[in-house]
Chains A and B, each alone.
Chain A
Amino acid sequence: MRIRRIIFNSILNLRKNVYKNGHKIILFPMSILVLQFCLSFSILPSESGNHFPGYLLSYPITSIQANNYAPEFNLKSDTILIPLKRAGRLFLIEAKIDDQTGNLVFDTGANTLALNSTYFRDHVKSGGAVSNGITGDVGLVEQITAGKIEFSELSYKNIRADLVNLGHIENHRGVKILGLIGFNMIKNLEIIFDPKNSTLKLIRIDKKGERMNKALAEFKSDYSQKIEGNSNILFLQGKVAGKNLNFCFDTAAETNAISSDSNKSILNTLTITRRTTLKGAGSARSEVLFGRMNDFRIGGNPINGMETIITNLDALTEAYNTKTDGMLGYNFLEQGTFCINFVKKQFGIHFTKSEEK
């Protein structure tokens, strides 16, 4: 039952949606991926913000080549501006992966690169036997190696990726989805994400996280915080009803989410406008509420009226190995421009002022 709960709750996020139907030979593919995340990245803290040790330990197949996430800049420029496409509330990056052209969903809730099995199932498998110690289940997730991944002016060679079914995103959003890309591929660059203008700016930085080109205009943060931990997932400290909550920053979440396990005083502040019970076989069902956050603050900045769903988020907590009280998705992204520097462990928001809106 625990695994089932993991599966359901995980589908609240698109990435988790996707993983749920991960592979036909796996009984509970999502749970496997959840576990894989845990093993890959979070449980084993890695050095200098790069996660190779975790990766290698989680896949005890010695022949697997470590991922090289250091991209090659094709141009001499120190900064690139990627125009993002939109599909519903998703942000897409046009990419070429080996012989396929299509889109990668910019999904900062994804721990690792995941590619769509429709187009990549014939790629060379690079193994991926995963066992775990959390629920005692043993399962298999297929992994492949992509020869070359190119987007904008960046290119990566021999990148290992999970093979997942992303057909549902394609069918519901009408665009060709090659895969999901999170922070892991761009962690050694400074990232400026401007959802309002649909752009992703990547800036070259040195090992200390300082910009190579000092002449670039500084990012002006209205709110900034330290990035905790070494995972590929970014957590933000928000406040609801004066209580501190740990939110995962998820660019592929089409709505915010709050855990239904949250403190009673937190739930009391929400306006509930919709409810659904998703029915499974027999009498099994799961409750999802939808409404607005009336008392949300981040660093003293109130943001009112953001849409949110309210449901069980245990699966995120398990997947990220970090207590996760909620997800900040599309409605949060609408609030401004975001600067993320994993090397310096700095996160900042420049809020779009009302007159700019």
Chain B
Amino acid sequence: MKIIIRITLLLIGIFNFMNLQAQFNPEKICRVENGQLIFTINLNWSEKEKQELEELFDLDSMLLVKVYSGKTTIGLDNEKWIVKRINSSLVELSKPVSSKSEKSIQLNDLFLVIDKWMNFTGKVNESSVIYGVNDFKIPYAFTYDKTKGQFYLPAFKSATNVYLSGSFNGWSTTQTPMKKVNDGWMIDVNLKPGKYTYKYIVDGKWKQDPNNQLSEADGAGGLNSVLFCSNHLFELEGYHGARKVVVTGNFYNWNTKGIAMNRTTKGWALPIYLRDGTYAYKFIVDYQWMTDPANPSFRKDGDGNLNSFLGIGEPYLFKIEGFTTANKVILTGSFNNWNENELVMNKTKTGWELPYVIAPGNYEYKFIIDGKWKLDTANPFTTGSGEGQNSFIALKANHLFELKNYQYIKDAIITGSFNGWSPNGYRMHKQDGKWIFPIFLQPGKYTYKFILDGTWILDPENILYEQNEYNTNNSVIWIE
């Protein structure tokens, strides 16, 4: 009997305790009533919930400390808050709705606030996609051959004009008119391997590609068609009797479902886009795993299994001259998260080298020679300063910052939106009487300035500039 009473008491206790754990519903915390802004606050909220309260409603942490300590009136920043006790766990914190604004606000702040409130998704960086395979209903809706993509729209025969608009032409509504052909419309576009999103514009109306089964949200309640320009063909000869052949690899997280290959006259094939890098893969033929018989490159995985592997993109040869008596030289950098063991360099007659495939981009790196970190002295481009100084390389650089007529400057730095305005950002190199800095920039807008011996200046050669939040100007470039 005692046990039953104890259990009952315990259950009542738990029930009461749970009851005290107040519901945290952001919809029900704040209201406006007769000109008063009122927050209903539960004194039993956890620290995490209090923090959320602070963040959602921009309440000062000092204000909440005072509320929780039982103060009934609180003055803060020229505003008077009243705390009213509702019951043992609830209080109402209130003040008049402020209908005045006392200060001009940086519009940047408001943009950030609205972006946060509206849940705007950031710009999707299409170059970060690792792999992709097309899925068209008819084979000729899109074809791709190394550099040229051909779009074919066998529909809308009676339309007056059809344009192609997508991520490859900055979503231009005017730049890419299609040509009328017998069954519809067609256009050739120069495209590099990669992922692209697009739509057709038929007599002014946006249309998804009716023959493309790949799509993604367009950020405006509709869908964009998605395609990939392939840079690799997986091929498996023979196995005509197989029911299903798929390929899987590290690009697909070794998912056993794999990506289905298509039947061809020779056997099986799959054109695929793979971002520059090194990949391990295997075919699965009717549930039987196998390496690629046509690919002589194999690599053992951690469990002793063999995988086929392939490199996409051109390798860059990292080299360091000398140090021939060193035992071990490691290449480390932002391309491998500064891993200090992974990339062991190969000894040559005169030094050390390592060919390594990485995607186009800007990278910082250093060599570790028998445990000692060293800059690449053959490379004049660096970032940072002192201990934090690293060698810098822009692979497949597509822009060159140049500064003429400043031969007598000792130190020239380029900084901007591309490196978070780091003041000891990218150190330029003086060559043939001018300062230069090659860089890889994704398409888009960038703002920047030069810092010459500590003095910030606009790019004197660039007529485009805009006012910044400090009421000075920043130079502006657009990368197509």
Question: What size tier do the contact residues of chain B reach?
Answer: 35 or more
A11 touches B30 (CB 8 A): no
> In the docked arrangement, what's the CA distance between A174 and B172, Å?
14
From A28, which residue of chain B is reached at the shortest CB distance?
A: B104
From residue B311, how far is it (CB to closest CB) to chain A in Å? 32
Which B residues are CB-close (under 8 A) to A118? Answer: 464-466, 476
> In the docked arrangement, what's the CA distance between A51 and B118, Å?
36
B32 touches A270 (CB 8 A): yes
From B100, which residue of chain A is reached at the shortest CB distance?
A: A312
B98 touches A260 (CB 8 A): yes
From B109, which residue of chain A is reached at the shortest CB distance?
A: A278
A11 touches B110 (CB 8 A): yes
Which A residues are CB-close (under 8 A) to B6? Answer: none
Which B residues are CB-close (under 8 A) to A66? Answer: none
**Residue A272 is within 8 A (CB to CB) of chain B in the complex:** yes
Which B residues are CB-close (under 8 A) to A254? Answer: 114, 118
> Which B residues from 308 to 350 make CB contacts under 8 A with A?
none
Which A residues are CB-close (under 8 A) to B303? Answer: none
Which B residues are CB-close (under 8 A) to A64? Answer: none
B107 touches A20 (CB 8 A): yes
The one of B101, B117, B118 that contacts A312, using a Cβ cutoff of 8 Å = B101
A12 touches B110 (CB 8 A): yes
A8 touches B105 (CB 8 A): yes
> Which A residues from 250 to 308 make CB contacts under 8 A with B?
254-255, 259-261, 264, 267-268, 270-281, 283-290, 307
A8 touches B104 (CB 8 A): yes
A122 touches B101 (CB 8 A): no
> Which B residues from 443 to 480 make CB contacts under 8 A with A?
444-445, 447, 463-468, 471, 474, 476, 478
A-B contacts, CB under 8 A, total:
183
Residue in A12, A285, A310, A334 with the greatest tally of chain B CB atoms within 10 Å: A285
> In the docked arrangement, what's the CA distance between A159 and B467, Å?
24
Residue in B33, B110, B115, B173 with the greatest tally of chain A CB atoms within 10 Å: B110
Which A residues are CB-close (under 8 A) to B238? Answer: none
**Residue A228 is within 8 A (CB to CB) of chain B in the complex:** no
> In the docked arrangement, what's the CA distance between A8 and B104, Å?
5
Given the interface pairs A117-B466, A275-B57, the reply to whether A81 lies near B99 with Cβ below 8 Å is: no
- Among the stretches A125-133, A136-144, A192-200, A213-221, the one at the interface with B is A192-200
Q: List 28 A-B contacts (CB under 8 A).
A: A11-B107, A18-B107, A24-B471, A83-B173, A89-B120, A117-B466, A122-B463, A165-B466, A167-B466, A168-B108, A168-B111, A198-B222, A199-B205, A260-B99, A261-B99, A264-B34, A267-B32, A267-B97, A272-B37, A275-B56, A276-B58, A278-B105, A278-B113, A280-B105, A285-B102, A286-B101, A289-B37, A289-B97
Interface residues of A (CB under 8 A from B): 1, 4-5, 7-9, 11-12, 17-18, 20-21, 24, 80-83, 85-86, 88-89, 94, 117-119, 122, 165, 167-168, 170-172, 174, 176, 196-199, 201, 254-255, 259-261, 264, 267-268, 270-281, 283-290, 307, 309-312, 334
Interface residues of B (CB under 8 A from A): 26-27, 30-35, 37, 56-59, 77-78, 97-105, 107-111, 113-115, 117-118, 120, 123, 163, 165, 171-174, 201, 203-206, 218-222, 417, 444-445, 447, 463-468, 471, 474, 476, 478
